[in-house]
Amino acid sequence: MSIFSKPYFHDEAAAFEHLEEVLWRGEPVCPHCGTINNATKLQGQATRVGVWKCKDRHCRKQFTAKVGTVFENGRIPLNKMLQAVHLMVSSKKGISSHQLHRILEIQYKSAWFLAHRIREAMRDGSLARIGGGGGFVEADETFIGREPGKAKKRAYHHKMKVLSLLDRETGQTRSMVVDDLKPATITPNLEENIAKEARVMTEGRTLFPPQQELC
């Protein structure tokens, strides 16, 4: 049997039960008031799948296990979003939004946003600025794919703009999608991710604050 034979990959109700078990371990937590194990699962025919209602007299709000996760407000069936998570974490060489779009049979724009949400959840949490201690940080940009909703044009104008940073000493890399490559757009990203004492190496483009050293 394949792992994709699991019920939570095919049935949305089973997907909610699986997510609830992973997150709550049998004790539902209200995301609105924080009350633990004091909620009732709504089972009416007109009720959406996976909806709970807090029984605290000061709250009484409805919620699902998706609240506070990368699945919150997602319009894709939860079982398909769980498939996307498995595909992304188990693919040795990664998986593109186009592949998710084809495999899951969802719109490309939906696959693109879902993939970004999952990647954000997979961050290791080390948000400290790179290049500390005066180390060298390389900065460069590239263009990949196509921005959702943009018509294909010549050169790179329809592609997504990605800024990448590399700490030469630690080998740590950091990449981010930016709206454009104007200094006013890129500078805040650099200030947020690069230590002030770092020595920045680029190809000559004037992107960096004047107090940083350019090589």
pLDDT value for 148: 78
Q: pLDDT grade, residue 210 (50/70/90)?
A: very low
Question: Which pTM was predicted?
Answer: 0.59
| Dist. CA 193–CA 179, nearest whole Å | 17
Same domain, 87 and 193: no
Tens of pLDDT, residue by residue over 2-42, are: 888 999 999 999 999 999 999 999 899 999 998 999 999 99
Q: Is 15 helix (H, G, I), strand (E, B) or coil?
A: helix
CA atoms within 13 A on the CB side of 84: 31
User: Is 44 within a domain?
Assistant: yes
> For residue 65, is pLDDT > 60?
yes
User: Is 145 within a domain?
Assistant: yes
Same domain, 79 and 166: no
Same domain, 152 and 69: no
Q: Of all residues in the chain, what percent carry a pLDDT higher than 90?
A: 39
The H or E element spanning position 214 is: strand 213-214
| Dist. CA 11–CA 14, nearest whole Å | 5
User: Is 203 within a domain?
Assistant: yes
Question: Cβ of 118: how many Cβ atoms within 10 Å?
Answer: 18
Question: Cβ of 19: how many Cβ atoms within 10 Å?
Answer: 20
Last residue of a domain, one of 93, 121, 149: 121
Count of domains for the chain: 2
User: Is 126 within a domain?
Assistant: no
pLDDT value for 54: 94
Is 112 in contact with 97 (CB distance < 8 Å)? yes
Give 131's DSSP letter. Answer: S
Same domain, 91 and 141: no
User: Is 93 within a domain?
Assistant: yes
Last residue of a domain, one of 121, 148, 163: 121
Same domain, 117 and 140: no
> For residue 206, is pLDDT > 70?
no
Q: pLDDT grade, residue 185 (50/70/90)?
A: confident
Cα 128 to chain centroid, rounded = 19
CA angle, 79 as apex, 73 and 80 as ends, to 5°? 80
User: Is 70 within a domain?
Assistant: yes
Tens of pLDDT, residue by residue over 190-204, are: 888 888 888 888 875
Same domain, 85 and 142: no
Same domain, 115 and 151: no
pLDDT value for 196: 83
Last residue of a domain, one of 121, 154, 184: 121
Domain, as residue range, for 210: 136-214
| Dist. CA 189–CA 79, nearest whole Å | 35
Tens of pLDDT, residue by residue over 119-130, are: 878 776 556 788
Same domain, 86 and 142: no
Same domain, 158 and 60: no
User: Is 130 within a domain?
Assistant: no
Same domain, 147 and 108: no
Same domain, 90 and 117: yes
pLDDT value for 121: 81
User: Is 129 within a domain?
Assistant: no
| Dist. CA 68–CA 56, nearest whole Å | 20
Q: Of all residues in the chain, what percent carry a pLDDT higher than 70?
A: 92
Q: What is the mean pLDDT of residues 89-104?
A: 89
Same domain, 108 and 171: no
Q: Which of 44-53, 108-117, 172-181, 196-205 is the most confident on average?
A: 108-117
Which residues share a beta bridge with 173?
A: 166
